[in-house]
Amino acid sequence: QSVLTQPPSVSAAPGQKATISCSGSSSNIGNNYVSWYQQVPGAAPKLLIYDNTQRPSGIPDRFSGSKSGTSATLGITGLQTGDEATYYCGTWDSSLSAVVFGGGTKLTVL
């Protein structure tokens, strides 16, 4: 059971938009910065979003992050088959004094 809650799966058609939610509490998302990672099968995770909304260089602006209260959301527009992957949210939990991740959301582009 992960501290952060993500839907196990999300699907959307090519060219459409997908949103992935990440729900937590005041000890983690509510008072700390959120990051998002993409993991393609067989590969290492890759940073997509840091500090709630910031994209590292090289990440297309099709990927966006937002946060409201104790929840965060990853948005992906103009979906491509190459976006099929598992997406994880992560943050610091001040009560646990630990980094916590969501359980991951598998995105299917169909």
Binding site for other proteins (CB under 8 A): 2, 31-33, 35, 37, 39, 43-47, 50-51, 56, 88, 90-92, 94, 96-104
Comparison of 14 and 56: residue with beta carbon closer to other proteins: 56
CA 24 to chain CA centroid, nearest Å:
13
Minimum CB separation of residue 109 from other proteins in Å reads 21
CB of residue 92 vs other proteins: minimum separation in angstroms?
Answer: 4
Task: Encode burial over 69-106: b for 16+ CB neighbours within 10 A, e otherwise.
Answer: ebbbbbebeebeeebebbbbbbbbbeeeeeebbbbbbb
